[in-house]
Amino acid sequence: MPAASGPRGVQRWRRRLVLALLPALWPALFALAGNQREEALADPVRVALSRAITDASPPQPRHDDIEVRIRYLHWLGEMSQRLSSRVRDPQVRRELLETVWYESTRAGLEPELVLGLMQVESAFRKYAVSHAGARGYMQVMPFWTRVIGDGDPRKLFHMQTNLRYGCSILRMYIDMERGDLFLALGRYNGSRGRPDYPNAVLAAWKRWQVHPARPAAALRPAH
């Protein structure tokens, strides 16, 4: 039983327990990650995905709305605090969170969903490599660089490149599954129709959420 009394004491005790158990739990969690399967894509889908990846001058997220900017700054502070035990360098942590926000909103995804996926896929390890050879934060398979990129899988260890691929691929799968996130996540993982991976990501997403609902303007890709 925790020494500190009250809800906050119990919460701190539980957090310490989870952190202590993570090294033992990690192999089981990582077994879910990085097994995307190469599949035939219709030419328009492949071309659109390739353009999303290689766009050299993507639009910047809109922060001219003061309410959206306040939420963004609050989000950065809150997420930085939560992520501090996993990514200890403050500069790297801020860069990662800014990139998550940028690439997720650019693809029309919830930033917290992308954080949940990264937690399950790589535990926020930049140089993670799965048993199937998937790479980086979002565990992107090297074949994607041949199908829609420049053919250089080494770039998947670059932060923004990895998130650009991961967010674009997940967006594509959500569209292919007509908005069914459960099936899209399974497809991202190469385990479509099986519950373990989607359930893990959805549970992680819920834990990362700050607001129960985000204004549509904050999620809409900028143009």
Instruction: Please report, as a single letter, which amino acid is at residue 143.
Output: F
In a domain, 89, yes or no: yes
Binning pLDDT at 50, 70 and 90, where does residue 31 land? very low
Least trusted range by pLDDT, from 54-58, 69-73, 185-189: 54-58
Cα–Cα distance for residue pair 4/11, rounded to 1 Å: 10
Burial class (CB in 10 A: 0-12, 13-18, 19+), 83: buried
**Position 73 in a domain:** yes
Q: Which domain holds residue 44?
A: 31-219
Q: For residue 177, is it within any domain?
A: yes
pLDDT for the residue 48:
85
Which among 203, 191, 206, 207 has a CA at the least distance from the CA of 32?
191
Binned at pLDDT 50, 70 and 90, residue 98 comes out as very high
Instruction: State the pLDDT at residue 193.
Output: 86
Length of the chain: 223
Element (H, E) at 218: helix 216-219
Mean pLDDT within 46-72: 76
β-partners of residue 135 are 129, 140
Considering the domain boundaries, does residue 60 fall inside one?
A: yes
- The answer to whether residue 10 is domain-embedded is no
Please report the DSSP string for 161-195 in residue order.
HHHHHHHHHHHHHHHHTTT-HHHHHHHHHT-TT-S
Predicted confidence at residue 119, as pLDDT, reads: 97
* pLDDT given at position 21: 45
Of the chain, the end-to-end C-alpha distance in Å amounts to 53
Domain assignment present for residue 25? The answer is no
Residue 67 has pLDDT above 90, yes or no: no
- Residue 4 falls inside a structural domain: no
Averaged pLDDT score across all residues of the chain: 82
Q: Could you tell me which residues are beta bridge partners of residue 129?
A: 135
Please report the pLDDT score of residue 211 as a whole number: 62
pTM: 0.77
Task: Judge whether 169 lies within some domain.
Answer: yes
pLDDT recorded at residue 187: 94
Find the mean pLDDT for residues 157-177: 95
Burial readout 146-178 (b: 16 or more C-beta within 10 A, e: otherwise): ebbbeeebebbbebebbbbbbbbbbbbbbebbe
Residue 175, domain CATH: 1.10.530
How many structural domains is the chain composed of?
Answer: 1
> For position 66, what pLDDT does the model report?
85
Mean pLDDT within 96-110: 93
Nearest to 210 by CA among 98, 72, 86: 72
Give the burial class of 119: count Cβ atoms within 10 A of its Cβ; 0-12 exposed, 13-18 middle, 19 or more buried.
buried
Amino acid 6: pLDDT: 63
Q: Out of 51-60, 61-70, 180-189, pick the least confident.
A: 51-60
